[in-house]
Structure formats: structure tokens, C-alpha cells
Amino acid sequence: MDNNDRAIGTQVVRPPVEAIQEFKVLTNLYGADLGRTGGGVISLVSKSGTNGLHGSLFEFLRNSAVDAKNFFDPPGPTPPFKQNQFGASLGGPLRRDRTFFFGDFEGIRLRQAQTFTSIVPTAAMKAGNFAGVAAIFDPVTHTRFANDVIPEGRMDPPGGRLARLYPNPNTVTANGTPAFVFNPVKSQREDDFDVRVDHRVSDGSSFFTRYSFNDANTFLPSQLPPVGDIDVGGDPFAWSGSSLQRSQGLQLNYVRSFGPSFLGEFRAGYVRYAVNSLIPNWDKAVSSQLGIPGANYDQNSSGLVTTGVAGFRGLGDSRFIPIIQFDNTFQEMADFSYTRSRHSLKMGADVRRRQLNLYQSDSPRGQFDFWDANRSPAQTSTWRCPEPETSRRAGSTPR
């Protein structure tokens, strides 16, 4: 049965190791019944019960108590890392020699500190004071501001509020650049299980059904600390926020022998993949609160506008989130195999019906980019204050 998501090409159901009886990796010369692939094919067979009662119990543990410290971590205790991967399986007879069951469960619990080192402006820079850092020029008169300090009246209020979202530096890099080291925690909770029932109808026919379920809830932190109830964000291309991914798969399989040379197999299946990835500032009109009009016009464009400042860590929610996806695949198959002497013939039909609903937008809340035309702001350079709107030449496109 097909186990692929057609939107981004990932697998839908991810069975635990204890659920797998065997697997094959095919790289060429696929049978016609596999189809629809230009790369490798990974084929899995799930476990079934037997006349004997068998089970397993396991846990794998990783802990920061026995880990070395990350080279970039700040002084002090080792940031936390706790990972538990545990599960169990059980299989046996429901009716000896006739009906069998098999079930398994696997859970993952993860809390792992992330280390982000970000170049950030100093408190003086956020107030418009660049004395000793860079030469700042008036974009209208092209004369240098006195003492390289931008007058308070020339600073745009929303821009000032954005700048104040940056934390003050808590360290410096090897070349003396002010920076901020942040150790937020990534968390993940995953629960997976499978249930399979096999039944031998007669000596020449058998049937099984399998249901699989995966539920993964992940939170990826931002690169900068929050300010009040506002998540400041960071790298606009990084994925931060919460993501719930739920996968389900149902399969029915019936095999019947119509004689010593003729075998038929009939299969039906359904897989569903649901994704709900949201930004940390979901359903908050953060940009509007800061005085930026037109950025938050509905729920899908909620959050903090993506802002890139050359030489510094960015601000704002990730560009490509939210992702809201529902993917259904219905499949019916019939295969017939005929053997005569040294020859064999296989034929069949495979019908698949797909339903895909996907919402994703690039920068739904807008994007601002600011840079110096000459050199990186992280270096001592000539900086120019952003030109007022009224002084832009007609036809220019601000960014």
C-alpha cells in the first residue's frame, strides 16, 4: 500500500521498530505493482501474531548529566537535554491456528536546549547613538549627524519599537562584536501504535487488517528571547513555533488460492496525513500593536512582520509558516499470479484517489529588509539613516 505524502514527499505512517517484520530497499528493476517512483523503494512488512505469546519492553535514555558541554554554551551548568524513547509490543493467538493479534506502542519525550549566538545592537545603537561605531548621514541633506547620533524626532516610531525588541548583548564574539547567547528548549512528544489482526479463513485463503497511528507534537524555539507576550523570532528561514503532525493508516488484505497455479490478492487501504504548524505569535496582531499598518489583516497573517537587518540577527516570525495541510489517499488493488511449468504471469490493477488541501504562504505578514549599501553594519562603516518617505524619488520601491 502507498505510504507517501504527495505535497512534500515524506512518508505518512512511521512504524516503530518493534512493528517491522522485514524490510527491503529496491534501487532498480521494480515490479509494475510498485510504480510511481523515480528513486528507491523501501518496502516494509508489519509483524503478525503467532500461536505463541511473545512481547517486548524497551527504553532508551539520553541525558545531559552524561553529556559534554557544547562549545558555544555560556558559562554555568550544561543546558538540559533529556530524551526518553520507550515502548512495548505483544502478539499471540486469539484462536489457536486461526486468528492472531499483534500490537505495539512507542513514545518519545524530548527536551533539548538549543544554543543560538546572535549579533545584536547595543542599547546605545537602539537609541540612535552610533558614536565611535559608524558615521551616520542625513539622507536628505547628506550631511553627517552631530556626534553620529540620530535625533529622536528623525526615528520612525514603529522602527524604534522594533529595535527595542532586541535584547542587550550579554557577550562578545572573538572579534569583539556585541552578541547575545540564548539557550531555549526544544520539546517533542510523540506517540505511535499499530494494531494488526490475522485470520486464516481456510487452507487456501487468509485475511488481515492493520491500523497505524502516529502523533507528533513539536515545539521549536525562536533564536531570541520573548519580550512580554511577544515572541521576537529571529532567522526568517528557520522553523520556529508549534507543529502537530498526525498520521493514520488502515489496510485490509485478502489472499485466496484458486488452485495450485492461480493466486489472487485483494487489498484496500486509507492513509491520512494532517499537519498544523503555527508561528509562536499565532492569532496575535503583533505588527499592528507595534504601529505597522496592513501587516495583520486576518488570522493567517497574524504575528510579527519578518525584518532583516544586515549584519544582525533578524526579527519576526518565520516566513513560511503557517502550514495547514490535510492529505487523504484511498487505494484499491487486485493482483493475480499464474504459474505454469517454468513460466509465471502476474497482472492486476491499482486505483488511487487523492485529496489534498494545503495552505502555506511566503511572508504572509510582509517583510522588511534594511542594509548598508557599502559594508556590513557589524563592521565600522559609513551608515546612512533611512530616507524619509517624502524624499524618495518617484517610482522607487522601498524595501
Q: In the 3-class helix/strand/coil scheme, how is 41-89 assigned residue by residue? A: EEEEEECCCCCCCEEEEEEEEEEHHHCCCCCCCCCCCCCCEEEEEEEEE
Residue 215 burial by Cβ neighbours in a 10 Å radius (0-12, 13-18, 19+)? middle
pLDDT computed for residue 374 by the predictor = 46
Alpha helices, DSSP H, located in the chain: 123-126, 157-163, 286-289
At residue 356, the pLDDT reads: 92
Flag residues of the chain having pLDDT under 50: 374-399
Site of grid cell 491499482: 350
257-313 pLDDT, tens per residue? 998 899 999 999 999 999 999 999 999 999 999 999 888 989 989 999 999 888 899
pTM of the entire structure? 0.82
Q: Which residues contact 95 (CB under 8 A, 6 or more apart)?
A: none
- pLDDT at position 80 is 83
pLDDT at res. 376? 42
Please report the pLDDT score of residue 369 as a whole number. 87
E strands in 279-322: 306-309
Contacts 24+ apart (CB under 8 A), 35-43: 35/350, 36/2
Which are the contacts of 344, defined by CB distance < 8 A and separation ≥ 6? Answer: 337, 338
The percent helix, strand, coil of the chain (3-state, each to 5) is: 10, 50, 45
**What is the β-pairing status of strands 178-182 and 116-119?**
antiparallel
Cα distances (Å, whole numbers) of residue 255 to 54, 198, 333: 25, 11, 12
**Beta carbons within 10 angstroms of residue 189's beta carbon:** 15
Residues recorded for the chain: 399
Check residue 218 and give its pLDDT: 95
Please report, for the chain, how many H helices and E strands are present, in that order. Answer: 3, 18
What's the pLDDT at 372? 65
Decide: residue 337, CB within 10 A, 0-12 exposed, 13-18 middle, 19+ buried.
middle
The 10s digit of each residue's pLDDT in 141-193 is 888 999 999 998 888 899 889 999 999 999 888 888 899 999 899 999 999 99
Q: Which of 196, 242, 28, 230 is nearest to 104 (CA)?
A: 196
